[in-house]
Structure 1
Amino acid sequence: MSIYLDCNATSPIEPEVVEKLTQYLTIDFGNEGSHTHEFGSTAKKAVQEARDNIVSLVDASRNEIIFTSGATESNNIAILGLKEFGIKNNKKHIITSTIEHKAVLEPIEELKKLGFEVDVLPVDKSGRVNPKDIQKKLKEETLLVSIMHVNNETGIIQPIEEICKVIENNDCFFHVDGAQGFGKEIDTLKNKRIDLISISGHKIYGPKGIGALITRLRNYNKPPLQPLFFGGGQESKLRPGTLPVHLIAGLGVAAKVAKRDLKKRQTKNKVIFDKIMDLIKNLKGELNGDTKHLLGNCINFSIPGVDAEAFMLMTKELISISNGSACTSSTYEPSHVIKSMTNNEDKIRGALRFSWCHLTDNKIPVEEIEKKLQNILY
């Protein structure tokens, strides 16, 4: 059976999360908005507990979180939700980077069509944004800076702390797409200069279809977001609709376990990291990105002369991997992330992403995979 090494696309689910999901699907299935009976009260308590577990990872309070369907929706609310404020206050300048997820780049592109000025900053071969570039572009009219926490294709941690220092005296809003880093690298997202954080359940061993947007208070005021759709008063009227209690409870457990088991998970990931690094070395692979900034659960590399699609086809019975974001895989276009890091067409076409986690199956050792791959390629 193929070893699953595509955890950045979606992660396996934590057993404790499955238990909680089942409980709120089959037993405690009440509507959180029903205040007249015990079922509703039980559901409301579960949602509040989940809020507390999630915000504890970013040092926020329960009134600073909005539940969504995932990081894509959270990103859209964070970006498009600031449109009216930007127009009203003549703050129509946005700074982002070339390596952001499409769920950030495309909403920003929509604002550009409406007359917003957008600076899309490049990265170098290390795969990181340079905070000095942000400093150069920052101005009084800057509405938003949107830079991801950890890149989904390379696993490279971005210099969020340094960016916070650069913008500390500017009143722009700082949005961080935290889908890949939330619950895995905890301290950074606690920085109070970060106004908006997008997270996704199925990236931290929770259920698909649930995520959240952290809307951190500034001087006791929430970011001036407007809803993208309407139909109820849920989630501070910012994201209407009946709350999926089972998914929220599952996400809450996923966050709680992420905090509890952080060190244990990092230890397991380091073992797999070392094995895969040996594999890459023996395959004469070239890394895409600077290893000293890796989160530790993802590696992107290219093998000279080997096309990524051909590699995946040849090895699909051994390992399940990808060559980029699952959200854009249907287009079969070269990765915009790797293209922003290098002009080498061979590296771009050959880019492969291995991503794993503490639940990665070890029944087939990486050493055995290495041996089989060498037999195929050489």
Structure 2
Amino acid sequence: MNLNSNIYLDYQSTTPVDPKVIESMSPYLNIYFANPHSTEHTMGKFVSDNIEKSRIKVARLINSDPKEIIFTSGATESNNLAIKGAARFYKNMNKNEIITTNSEHKCVLESFNSLIKEGFKVVILPVENDGILDVTKLSNAISNRTILVSVMALNNEIGVIQPLEKIGKICKLNKVLFHSDCAQAGGKIELDVNKFNLDLLSLSSHKMYGPKGIGCLFVRRRPRVRLDPLFSGGFQEKGLRSGTLPSHLCIGFGEAASLANKMMSSDNSRINYLSDYFLNYLSKKNIVYKINGNKNLRWQGNINIQIKGINASKLIENISNVSFSLGSACSDNAIEPSYVLKSLNLTKKEAESSVRISLGRMTTEEEIEEACIRISSVIHKLYKQKDQNSYD
């Protein structure tokens, strides 16, 4: 491998578009470009029919009816539509309470907080120190005024997997809607809307080797889940999401979902091997690390670790051509520990020593081997600088 070549290890942030997805999308940009809602002519009908085939492919990924798939611009819109749409519709039925956790994606937490101004009672449950929700605490929090529970399937920062099946049973027993942000889970772990008793589920194409700008919301038909739409328009997508569908993006999303179904097992086997290789290499080089979050209930492609004696921002500053993320967020030009890491009750020092390295379908063994060399050499360089400063 060329020493100057870039190694991308930030797959939780976004994924490259699979070549087969690009190939499937291309004709819909300049050959089959008709409006999919203009079904009175041949080309429009052809495009519309193929979008429906894509809807079927997405539905298969989560074991739903294709009629329950609503295309959106991505998981952020899907989460907003699920949370605000359900809350506003069912508020008229003398209910005003919604429940989530403190480690959700920002768009979920901001959607919840925005509803406080509309008179809703927002309950944000803390996760345990391993990032997993205690389902007993959830059960105790639900009341006869609860409309919705929203819990992410696979955490974008620390990779832990929540017990969706247990949560779904609790919600069904209490006749409460269950929504899950599955943007990070799509194509990585099993998603079954019936097994998990999900009423609403959000997906994002660009997290599973599809194009950016497209996602979907699963909305259960039986028993029927009702939502207030976020905006008005031409009643596309069953009146829940008005606007002309971007044909090429829908086609690409469908192909990405189809590939995810076929390749999930092989992808995970290879990613698990590469993840183990990376962590074992650190140990061999006497680099002390600790995994953030539950060590067992996790997706192994997300390696969020504290590296003892290292400031993570300095590590990233000093390493060239390896793309990975801090375990912290930038706010007002100041580095502050991520709220997700704070939810694990990490100290500021522990959070500041945390990095997220995420692997994916296109990650090669050669890249991991080279990344191990580059990262470990910089860590030891920082160790030496620290020792020299201490001596001085």
User: What is the TM-score with the length of structure 2 in the denominator?
Assistant: 0.91
SS of equivalent to 1:30: coil
Give the aligned partner of residue 196 of structure 1: 200
Q: What displacement does 1:2 show?
A: 2.4
Q: 1:1-378 counterparts in 2 under 5 A? A: 1-191=5-195, 193-219=197-223, 221=224, 223-281=225-283, 282-315=286-319, 317-324=320-327, 332-364=335-367, 365=369, 366-378=371-383
SS of equivalent to 1:300: strand
2:9–2:323: 8 Å Cα contact kept in structure 1?
yes
Structure index of larger Rg: 2
CA distance in 1, matches of 2:282, 2:35: 50
Superposed CA offset, 1:27-82 (max 9, x none): 21111101122211111111101100000111111110110000000000001112
2:267–2:361: 8 Å Cα contact kept in structure 1?
yes
* C-alpha distance 162-95 of structure 1, shift in aligned 2 (>3 A): same
1:183–1:258: 8 Å Cα contact kept in structure 2?
yes
Q: What displacement does 1:283 show?
A: 2.1
Q: What displacement does 1:136 show?
A: 0.8
Q: What displacement does 1:113 show?
A: 2.0
Q: Which range is displaced more, 148-157 or 54-63?
A: 54-63
SS of equivalent to 2:325: coil
CA distance in 1, matches of 2:93, 2:206: 37
Superposed CA offset, 1:72-98 (max 9, x none): 000000011123323211111111000
Equivalent residue letter for 2:219: T
2:290–2:307: 8 Å Cα contact kept in structure 1?
yes
CA distance in 2, matches of 1:226, 1:330: 38
CA distance in 2, matches of 1:327, 1:54: 34
Q: What displacement does 1:103 show?
A: 0.8
1:323–1:351: 8 Å Cα contact kept in structure 2?
yes
In the alignment, structure 2 segments of 5+ residues that lack a partner are 384-392
2:165–2:196: 8 Å Cα contact kept in structure 1?
no
Q: Which range is displaced more, 99-108 or 25-34?
A: 25-34
CA distance in 2, matches of 1:331, 1:215: 40
2:187–2:257: 8 Å Cα contact kept in structure 1?
yes
Q: What displacement does 1:253 show?
A: 0.2
Superposed CA offset, 1:111-169 (max 9, x none): 11222111111112211111111011011110010000000000110111111122221
Q: Which range is displaced more, 36-45 or 148-157?
A: 36-45
2:274–2:365: 8 Å Cα contact kept in structure 1?
no
1:57–1:190: 8 Å Cα contact kept in structure 2?
no
* C-alpha distance 140-171 of structure 1, shift in aligned 2 (>3 A): same
SS of equivalent to 2:202: strand
SS of equivalent to 2:336: coil
CA distance in 2, matches of 1:327, 1:224: 38
1:9–1:326: 8 Å Cα contact kept in structure 2?
no
The number of residues matched between the two structures is 375
Q: Which range is displaced more, 364-373 or 259-268?
A: 364-373
Superposed CA offset, 1:267-323 (max 9, x none): 2101211122224434211111121111121011111232221111112x1421112
2:310–2:353: 8 Å Cα contact kept in structure 1?
yes
SS of equivalent to 1:292: coil
What root-mean-square deviation, in Å, do the aligned CA atoms of Structure 1 and Structure 2 show? 1.9
CA distance in 2, matches of 1:15, 1:372: 34
* C-alpha distance 304-326 of structure 1, shift in aligned 2 (>3 A): closer
1:152–1:325: 8 Å Cα contact kept in structure 2?
no
Give the aligned partner of residue 388 of structure 2: none
1:80–1:107: 8 Å Cα contact kept in structure 2?
yes
* C-alpha distance 300-209 of structure 1, shift in aligned 2 (>3 A): same
* C-alpha distance 15-190 of structure 1, shift in aligned 2 (>3 A): farther
* C-alpha distance 125-84 of structure 1, shift in aligned 2 (>3 A): closer
* C-alpha distance 142-347 of structure 1, shift in aligned 2 (>3 A): same
Equivalent residue letter for 2:129: K
CA distance in 2, matches of 1:377, 1:327: 22
* C-alpha distance 100-3 of structure 1, shift in aligned 2 (>3 A): same
Equivalent residue letter for 1:20: S
In the alignment, structure 1 segments of 5+ residues that lack a partner are none
